[in-house]
């Protein structure tokens, strides 16, 4: 091999080329020849290398230079207009081109000159793709459209306001406000009679506006997250030099060459360029469940949205966006699709309904009592006079005005009693959690997954990339049962050449060399990248030379069932056909009958002794946490007329050698698994690796901690009966050499045992297990699009620590909802009891309609904002998982709620009956203001109590929660405005400093009460279960 490879071709042009401008993108042969001459002369003077002693293996070093000067051949030549810009010879609306793939028009494809003709018409090439700079992409988008489709417009802010006002009780209040406004103006004149009616109007609109602002913000966040989940990366060939790069699916344009592999979703319509054993699932488009084989002759069309289930290949994009069948279908969906309620939301709806019924019953009683007392003359004003005088007020206006006022108060009680803030709290905490989880590399695709993660009791996780760093490197190389320290001088040239073929041609990765100085860009899976990097650096492999010297006849892609991949190639010089296999070492070794010694020569028979020795090599590498990959080959004789595209022979192979790949454990994974164990979550590793490799990694990660932990292979688990599987499933910690169906069976058995199961997966075959699990977690880096579509959460960094983070956030969601329920029910109970008792005894309620609406605003919207946005604490991972059917209101919550509600009822009723005496004969309005102010401040202080259901320190982490502190500050500030400024609007009277101090002191007592109450132990078993058990014992 010479020191430099000169690939210099003359530029051939068409017979009648258009005039070329001196654009920088135009091919200038005279300049290229000049550059080539200078480089050749310089290299000739500086570099004169002979073959290395090892048989021509040139190691990569600073002195080795490889020069490539690309030419423009006939099939690469582009039509260039006068401005030097590449022109298209076909338009999106051409009849022969339009709907080419959508209607599978074979005749039009032939008219256009086949796939090569379409590529030329689109100024693209099978090997080099499009030019791909900004201007080229922009012109293609302008000419053929973008790879997007119109979506339904999201709800506007005014629509959210309208939805908030559509609440039936708020509508009733608006009607009452209109009637009150009319009667007020009629009785007191427009100057003084508009206050009550307008005040209610403003209060209702304020409640609706705050709710609309919150809902509108959350809707925008959900839309943003949905867009992020749809924005997948697509591998394209661009730049005119065959370079692979990843672009957003939204940036795919007509003319792009797309690289497809197992698990990919086809991003646009196109035609098949090349590939091997490419099969697609068209069930999303046609409903047919059977895979369809794609080839260049009988079935070259690939529709957007279909999934690749086997093989790999490349396609040329011919239509994007709404010009595709998938885009046309999606753009026709114009209605606003509402997300299904999560299980927690459904349970809260039932709780809201139950509380609402109680509120309606209380409101009906209050209305009946107030009405009877009002019209019998029992209700008196602050001066002791009857509010209703039969001789004076026994008119239609008087009676109707009194009924409207009483009805208004009753409706207000219903508005306060119904906890409409509960659904809002769920939406807030889910949206907040989703937003924060994305920051921590967990993209939630299904809302219910957030809350379900809080109940997970078992996690079935992959090994590679999840527990390990996914940074593989070849650490060991064995040939003929001997470990080699270096390749040069130790291995024969023939073996090196065969291994080069086995690595460079039997791969889904690629090697791109941009220039003579930069290191090559290697793409592919972590295993492929590690093998290609090793072959390039240690074996001096040149992929371009390999591809020019061999023709690939057939490929069998790697999958998790057979755990190996094969390729059949024909040597261009000799015509020899060779089958190359690589894969899991014990799988490949089992199909070998001979092996090659390291010094070359004839292959030797693989006897029992030699096989045992090689098996020990595999076991030793596995015990050292190395993934062992074997290479084998077989020369194949194809008889004239034989099928060279048939199944690749994998029997009687000749073993070339082993490589050991090291993938270290992630540094944080051991502490993460320990956190799961402390939280009552069992972690089970399911891997396709060797049993010894799996055991070593599991011990290193902390999954195996005792001798009772079961390590099992997939085929052993498969052979068990369902009852045997159920008996052992809880103790399984590692499942090695497993198939995707083994993972599915494991999940099913765990669910039968009552576990809430989370599963991680990255492959297409993992989709059934991801769907079967309570929470499916797909890997964002190595995961296929099929796996991601089957998942509930996408782990963007493929890190197990992020799975633990998602679990922590799931527990936080449930905990935040419980805190808000405790806070809201405390307010509900106190407000209902105080108003009901006061109505029965005095004939009037201590709080006006506007004041009650203000309290409703504080406890519903602002309370939800304050309590639903708390972040997870370390203590959450010290508790047992939340049961699937655990009650929303725990015994501890009932204890806290009862204590706080009882205190608030006692204090407010004392102020109602004795307040005027205690505070020195204050007026009724002033006393009512004291009750209102004390009640609101009790809720402010109780918000702190609600932050912790069981812990006594309610101030832990409060400084970090700026949202909570901000809501409390805003609430206090607005309360001051309500009392001191908006006196006529709120029906209040200004208070002195002493009165403010009394109100704050009354509210502050709730803190020590909360601390003392939490010292009282309560059983973990729900109260209703305890009562039911006692009844059963009595009946027995």
Q: Tokens for 673, please give them.
A: 């698994």
Cα–Cα distances in Å, from 929 out to 206, 254, 978? 21, 70, 10
Helix (H), strand (E) at residue 736: strand 732-736
Query: How many angstroms separate the CA atoms of 738 and 50, rounded?
Result: 50
Helix H, strand E, coil C: the string for 933-978 is: HHHHHHHHHHHHHHCCCCCCCCCCCCCCCHHHHHHHHHHHHHHHHH
Classify 264 in phi/psi space as left (phi over 0), alpha (psi -120 to 50) or beta: beta
> Is 569 within 8 Å of 628 (Cβ atoms)?
no
Helix H, strand E, coil C: the string for 436-488 is: HHHHCCEEECCCHHHHHHHHCCEEEECCCCCCECCCCEEEEEEECCEECCCCC
Strand ranges in 486-528 using DSSP code E only, listed in sequence order: 510-512, 521-523
> Is 749 within 8 Å of 720 (Cβ atoms)?
no
> Is 298 within 8 Å of 104 (Cβ atoms)?
no
Strand ranges in 886-944 using DSSP code E only, listed in sequence order: none
| Cα 801-807-809 angle, rounded to 5 deg | 105
> Is 972 within 8 Å of 1003 (Cβ atoms)?
no
DSSP class of residue 1005 equals T
> Is 866 within 8 Å of 967 (Cβ atoms)?
yes
Residue 262, SS3 per DSSP = coil
Cα–Cα distances in Å, from 229 out to 223, 298, 793, 799? 10, 35, 10, 18
The radius of gyration of the chain from alpha carbons, rounded to an integer in Å, stands at: 38
Q: Tokens for 695, please give them.
A: 């055991």
Give every CB contact of residue 914 below 8 A, 6+ residues apart in sequence: none
> 577-584 and 564-571 as β-strands: parallel, antiparallel, unpaired?
antiparallel
Query: How many angstroms separate the CA atoms of 482 and 934, rounded?
Result: 85
Number of C-beta neighbours around residue 534 at 10 A:
21
Query: How many angstroms separate the CA atoms of 237 and 273, rounded?
Result: 12
462 is a catalytic site residue: yes
**Alpha helices per DSSP H over 318-380:** 325-331, 343-375
**Alpha helices per DSSP H over 651-799:** 669-678, 691-701, 714-719, 722-728, 740-752, 767-772, 785-790
Query: How many angstroms separate the CA atoms of 425 and 447, rounded?
Result: 14
> Is 930 within 8 Å of 915 (Cβ atoms)?
yes
> Is 825 within 8 Å of 302 (Cβ atoms)?
no
652 class by beta-carbon count within 10 Å (0-12 exposed, 13-18 middle, 19+ buried): exposed
First-to-last alpha carbon distance for the chain, in angstroms, is 95
| Cα 956-819-884 angle, rounded to 5 deg | 115
Question: Which residue is catalytic, options 264, 269, 323, 462?
Answer: 462
Helix, strand, coil percentages (3-state) for the chain, rounded to 5, are 50, 15, 35
Please give the positions annotated as active site: 462
């Amino acid at each position: 091999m010479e020191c430099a490879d000169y690939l210099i071709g003359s530029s051939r042009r068409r017979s009648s080329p258009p005039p070329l401008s001196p654009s920088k993108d135009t091919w200038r042969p005279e300049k290229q020849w000049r550059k080539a001459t200078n480089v050749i002369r310089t290299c000739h003077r500086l570099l004169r290398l002979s073959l290395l002693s090892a048989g021509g293996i040139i190691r990569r070093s600073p002195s080795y230079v490889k020069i490539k000067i690309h030419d423009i051949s006939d099939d690469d030549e582009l039509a260039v207009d006068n401005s030097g810009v590449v022109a298209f010879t076909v338009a999106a609306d051409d009849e022969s081109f339009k709907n080419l793939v959508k209607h599978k028009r074979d005749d039009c494809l032939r008219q256009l000159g086949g796939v090569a003709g379409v590529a030329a018409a689109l100024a693209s090439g099978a090997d080099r793709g499009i030019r791909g700079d900004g201007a080229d992409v922009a012109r293609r988008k302008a000419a053929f459209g973008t790879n997007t489709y119109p979506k339904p417009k999201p709800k506007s802010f005014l629509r959210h306001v309208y939805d908030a006002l559509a609440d039936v009780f708020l509508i009733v209040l608006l009607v009452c406000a209109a009637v009150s406004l009319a009667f007020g103006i009629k009785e007191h004149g427009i100057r003084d009679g508009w206050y009550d009616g307008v005040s209610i109007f403003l209060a209702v609109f304020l409640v609706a506006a705050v709710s609309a602002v919150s809902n509108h913000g959350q809707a925008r966040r959900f839309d943003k997250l949905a867009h992020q989940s749809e924005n997948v990366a697509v591998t394209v060939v661009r730049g005119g030099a065959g370079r692979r790069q990843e672009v957003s699916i939204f940036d795919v344009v007509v003319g792009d060459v797309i690289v497809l592999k197992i698990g990919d979703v086809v991003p646009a319509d196109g035609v098949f360029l090349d590939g091997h054993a490419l099969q697609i699932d068209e069930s999303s488009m046609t409903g047919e469940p059977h895979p369809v084989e794609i080839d260049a002759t009988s079935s070259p069309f690939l529709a957007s949205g279909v999934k690749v289930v086997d093989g790999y290949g490349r396609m040329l994009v011919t239509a994007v966006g709404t010009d595709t069948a998938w885009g046309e279908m999606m753009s026709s969906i114009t209605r606003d699709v509402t997300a299904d309620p999560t299980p927690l939301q459904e349970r809260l709806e039932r709780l809201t309904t139950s509380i609402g019924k109680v509120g309606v019953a209380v409101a009906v009683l209050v209305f009946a009592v107030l009405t009877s007392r009002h019209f019998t003359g029992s209700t008196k004003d602050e001066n002791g006079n009857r509010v209703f005088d039969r001789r004076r007020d026994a008119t239609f206006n008087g009676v109707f005005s009194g009924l409207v006022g009483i009805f208004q108060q009753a409706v207000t009680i219903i508005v306060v009693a119904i906890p409409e803030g509960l659904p809002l709290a769920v939406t807030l905490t889910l949206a907040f959690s989703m937003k924060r989880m994305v920051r921590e590399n967990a993209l939630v695709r299904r809302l219910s997954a957030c809350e379900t993660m809080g109940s997970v009791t078992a996690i079935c996780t992959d090994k590679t990339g999840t527990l390990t760093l996914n940074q593989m490197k070849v650490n060991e190389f064995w040939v003929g049962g001997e470990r080699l320290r270096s390749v040069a001088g130790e291995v024969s040239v023939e073996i090196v050449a065969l291994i080069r073929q086995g690595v460079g041609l039997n791969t889904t990765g690629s090697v791109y060399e941009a220039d003579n100085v930069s290191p090559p860009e290697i793409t592919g899976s972590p295993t492929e990248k590690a093998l290609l990097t090793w072959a390039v650096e240690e074996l001096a492999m040149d992929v371009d030379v390999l591809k020019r010297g061999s023709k690939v006849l057939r490929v069998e892609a790697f999958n998790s069932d057979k755990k190996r991949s094969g390729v059949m190639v024909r040597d261009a010089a000799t015509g020899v056909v060779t089958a190359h296999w690589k894969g899991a070492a014990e799988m490949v070794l089992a199909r070998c009958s001979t092996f090659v010694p390291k010094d070359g020569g004839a292959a030797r028979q693989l006897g029992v002794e030699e096989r045992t020795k090689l098996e020990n090599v595999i076991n030793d590498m596995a015990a050292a946490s190395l993934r062992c990959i074997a290479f084998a080959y077989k020369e194949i004789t194809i008889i004239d007329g034989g099928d060279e595209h048939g199944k690749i022979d994998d029997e009687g192979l000749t073993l070339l050698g082993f490589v050991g790949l090291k993938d270290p454990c992630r540094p944080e994974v051991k502490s993460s698994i320990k956190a799961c164990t402390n939280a009552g979550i069992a972690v089970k590793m399911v891997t396709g690796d060797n049993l010894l490799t799996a055991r070593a990694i599991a011990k290193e990660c902390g999954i195996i901690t005792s001798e009772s932990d079961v390590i099992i292979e997939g085929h052993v688990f498969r052979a068990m009966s369902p009852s045997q599987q159920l008996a052992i499933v809880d103790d399984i910690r590692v499942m090695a050499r497993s198939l995707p169906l083994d993972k599915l069976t494991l999940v099913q058995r765990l669910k039968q045992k009552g576990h809430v199961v989370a599963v991680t997966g990255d492959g297409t075959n993992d989709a059934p297990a991801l769907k079967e699990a309570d929470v499916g977690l797909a890997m964002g880096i190595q995961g296929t699009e099929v796996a991601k579509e089957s998942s509930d959460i996408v782990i963007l960094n493929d890190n197990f620590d992020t799975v633990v983070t998602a679990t922590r956030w799931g527990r936080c969601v449930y905990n935040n909802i419980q805190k808000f329920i405790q806070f809201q029910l405390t307010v509900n109970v106190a407000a209902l009891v105080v108003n009901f008792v006061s109505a029965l005894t005095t004939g009037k309620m201590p709080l006006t309609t506007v004041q009650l609406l203000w309290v409703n605003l504080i406890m519903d919207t602002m309370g939800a904002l304050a309590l639903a946005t708390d972040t997870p604490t370390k203590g959450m991972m010290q508790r047992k998982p939340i049961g699937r059917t655990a009650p929303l209101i725990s015994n501890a919550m009932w204890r806290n709620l009862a204590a706080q509600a009882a205190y608030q009822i006692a204090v407010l009723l004392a102020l109602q009956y004795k307040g005027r005496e205690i505070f020195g004969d204050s007026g009724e309005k002033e006393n009512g203001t004291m009750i209102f102010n004390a009640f609101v401040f009790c809720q402010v202080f109780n918000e702190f109590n609600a932050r912790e259901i069981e812990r006594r320190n309610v101030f832990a982490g409060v400084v970090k929660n700026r949202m909570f502190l901000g809501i409390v500050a805003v609430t206090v500030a607005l309360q001051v405005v309500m009392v001191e400024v908006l006196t006529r609007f709120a029906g209040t009277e200004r208070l002195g400093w002493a009165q403010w101090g009394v109100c704050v002191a009354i509210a502050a007592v709730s803190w020590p009460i909360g601390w003392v109450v939490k010292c009282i132990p309560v059983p973990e078993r729900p109260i209703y279960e305890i009562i039911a058990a006692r009844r059963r014992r009595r009946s027995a």
